């Protein structure tokens, strides 16, 4: 590690092969916590390069436990996190709204690192039992339209990094990699990223895959549609600069979509929105993101029509039904 760090401290970057090798060694326990922390710190000081991203991604995909859920055509809705905005669990709520429309969702997520409450925190609070058992996950997809893939269950080699990430409490390149390593390899993905530079990098990577994707970045720094400013939506076919009005929605203020101060408050807020007791602003944000996901699955729909379908899933209780069915299967 000393040679690698000296190389990086000399303002040099890693090749794709070097990046893959170092991350594989980290995962195998080849470096101590101090060395890992310093290595992660390098990427707090500068942006990750495309070659480094490709190498890290390749290493994690090779190390991960893959799971075949291709009995269903599925979609994942996942963000990098690390935007520091402390919103409520938008992508997790959005996943249930999409499931409520009849789509099949393989939601990939983890505990919150740079935010109060990640998707794993809130689902575990409600009683979801993390598993990498294929039969359990297929049953959830069949009955509830959604299953949850808790990242550590599929990346056991990353146990060496988890304590360091938790102690740092900062976004790291693992935030960047998370959406890229869904172990079910869904054919469809809605991905949120916290910077425009990263959106460009993601676009390059995803163009080399067969995935139907849309990459989102809100121009004021959110890793999802926040309706607080214009946002970029990048897919294989187009790159768009959109505003809330393009979705038939109004612009809102940042403090109208803040999350809870702890897991309990975050869970209460999560459930209130699912039960259609959220504010108009909260409902609009989850409908906007769900609408973008539905447009991936149904490209013939206009943006406003996709948002309307999403709003109906929430208003009619279909999203709540998907949530309740999932929790009943875990009781």
C-alpha distances out from residue 92 to 44, 121, 196, 206, 323, Å? 27, 11, 22, 22, 10
Q: Distance between CA atoms of 250 and 246, rounded to whole angstroms? A: 9
Q: pLDDT of the chain along its 331 residues, tens only?
A: 999 999 999 999 999 999 999 999 998 889 999 999 999 999 989 989 999 999 999 999 999 999 999 999 999 999 887 777 888 999 999 999 999 999 999 999 988 865 678 899 999 999 999 999 999 999 999 999 999 999 999 988 777 787 887 788 777 888 889 899 999 999 999 999 999 999 999 999 999 999 999 999 999 999 999 999 999 999 999 999 999 999 999 999 999 999 888 999 999 999 999 999 999 999 999 999 999 999 999 999 999 999 999 999 999 999 999 999 999 999 9
Identify the pLDDT of residue 114. Answer: 55
pLDDT tens for residues 173-185? 888 898 999 999 9
Q: What are the residues whose beta carbons fall under 8 Å from the beta carbon of 254, sequence distance 6 or more?
A: 85, 220, 226, 228
What domains can be seen in the chain, in order of their start residue? Answer: 2-63 (1.20.970.10), 74-329 (3.40.1030.10)
């Amino acid at each position: 590690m000393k040679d690698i760090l000296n190389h990086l401290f000399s303002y040099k970057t890693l090749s794709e092969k070097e990046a893959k090798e170092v991350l594989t060694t980290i995962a195998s326990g080849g470096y101590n916590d101090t060395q890992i922390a310093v290595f992660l710190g390098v990427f707090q000081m500068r942006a990750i390069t495309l070659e480094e991203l490709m190498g890290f991604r390749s290493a994690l995909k090779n190390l991960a436990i893959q799971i075949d859920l291709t009995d269903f055509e599925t979609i994942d809705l996942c963000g990098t996190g690390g935007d520091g905005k402390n919103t409520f669990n938008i992508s997790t709520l959005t996943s249930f709204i999409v499931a409520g429309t009849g789509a099949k969702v393989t939601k990939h997520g983890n505990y919150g690192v740079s935010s109060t409450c990640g998707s794993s925190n809130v689902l575990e609070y409600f009683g979801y039992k993390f598993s990498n058992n294929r039969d359990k996950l297929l049953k959830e997809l069949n009955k509830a339209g959604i299953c949850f893939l808790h990242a550590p269950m599929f990346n056991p080699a990353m146990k060496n990094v988890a304590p360091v990430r938790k102690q740092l409490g900062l976004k790291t390149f693992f935030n960047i990699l998370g959406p890229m390593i869904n172990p079910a390899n869904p054919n469809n993905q809605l991905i949120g990223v916290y910077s425009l530079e990263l959106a460009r990098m993601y676009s390059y990577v995803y163009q080399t895959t067969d995935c139907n994707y849309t990459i989102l970045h809100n121009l004021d720094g959110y890793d999802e549609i926040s309706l607080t400013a214009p946002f970029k939506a990048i897919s294989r076919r187009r790159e768009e600069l959109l505003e809330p009005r393009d979705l038939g929605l109004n612009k809102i203020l940042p403090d109208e979509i803040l999350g809870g101060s702890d897991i309990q408050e975050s869970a209460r807020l999560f459930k209130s929105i699912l039960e259609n007791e959220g504010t108009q602003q909260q409902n609009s944000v989850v409908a906007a993101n769900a609408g973008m996901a539905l447009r991936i699955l149904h490209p013939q729909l206009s943006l406003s029509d996709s948002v309307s379908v999403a709003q109906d899933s929430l208003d009619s209780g279909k999203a709540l039904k998907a949530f309740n069915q999932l929790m009943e299967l875990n009781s």
